[in-house]
Amino acid sequence: MLTDAEPVLRRDPIMERLIEAHEPYVEPDWSEYERLCISIINQQLSTASAMAVRERVFELLEGEVTPETVLAAEDDALRDAGLSRSKIEYMRNAARAFQENDYTRDALADYSDEEVIDLLTEIKGIGEWTANMYLLFVLERPDVLPLGDLAVRRGIEQLYGDGEPDEMTPAEMREIAEAWRPYRSVATRYIWAEYEAESPAVL
């Protein structure tokens, strides 16, 4: 994807600098359900807190984060690992949905991004931000711009604005990102890489 995206992104001088300075942000090769659970854990938590909870939950489940292990786990154990009651419910809602439906890349290949978001947000506890993370990291869609992500917004403000929080509107950010189409996902990965370099362990 980067090979195709690079000539487009380099037309933006700031993005060209990021390409020269960083490798795009990448994650481990999580399974589809694991990555959805990670997004649920990350909801409304600082990065450090989310990472600590994720490690405890994964340790509790002995590294096997599947619909079956989540449904079988004791509530008290999951709460002791740091999950709120609502997040336990959300992870179990997702587990039952995964048992009933196929959310793999192949199964969703013919769905548009909007259709995937509509499908995932039918699961209680899955909002648009979580669905966008799924599009970007699991389905690897090329043109996702997750402005619901704080690090993306802060990164754009630092790179293209005066760096002050909430100085740029979402409309202004989308206008900037028009230059990155149809590879806004790749651009987002570079923004994360830059933001992580400036503020380690923010993602």
Hey, what are 124's tokens?
Answer: 């209680």
CB neighbour list of residue 12: distance below 8 Å, 6 or more residues apart: 179, 180
- Please give the Cα distance from 84 to 89 (Å, whole number): 9
Tell me which residue of 145, 157, 138 sits closest to 189, measured CA to CA: 145
CB of 79 within 8 A of CB of 88? Answer: yes
Task: Kindly report, as residue ranges, where domains of CATH 1.10.340.30 are found in the chain.
Answer: 32-138
pLDDT < 70 stretches in the chain: 1-2, 163, 199-203
Q: What is the pLDDT of residue 47?
A: 78
Q: How far apart are CA 165 and CA 88, in angstroms?
A: 32
- Cα torsion at 5, 10, 16, 21 (round to 10°)? 40
Give the model's pLDDT for residue 201.
Answer: 47
Alpha helical stretches, state H, the chain: 2-9, 13-21, 32-42, 47-60, 67-72, 75-80, 85-100, 113-120, 128-133, 150-160, 170-177, 184-198
Instruction: Decide: helix, strand or coil at residue 124.
Output: coil
pLDDT in tens, 122-174: 999 999 999 999 999 999 999 999 999 989 999 999 999 986 777 899 999 99
Q: Measure the CA–CA gap between 167 and 50, rounded to whole angstroms.
A: 27
Looking at residue 203, its pLDDT comes to 47
32-138 folds as Endonuclease III; domain 1 (1.10.340)
Share of the chain above pLDDT 70, in %: 96
Q: For the CA atoms of 178, 181, 186, 190, what is the dihedral angle to 10 degrees?
A: -30
CB 183 within 8 A of CB 194: no
CATH classification code of 1-26+145-198: 1.10.1670.40
Distance of CA 187 to the CA centre of its chain: 14
Which segments of the chain belong to CATH 1.10.1670.40? 1-26+145-198
Q: pTM higher than 0.75 for the full model?
A: yes
pLDDT at 2: 61
In terms of Cβ atoms closer than 10 Å to its own Cβ (0-12, 13-18, 19+), residue 142 is: middle
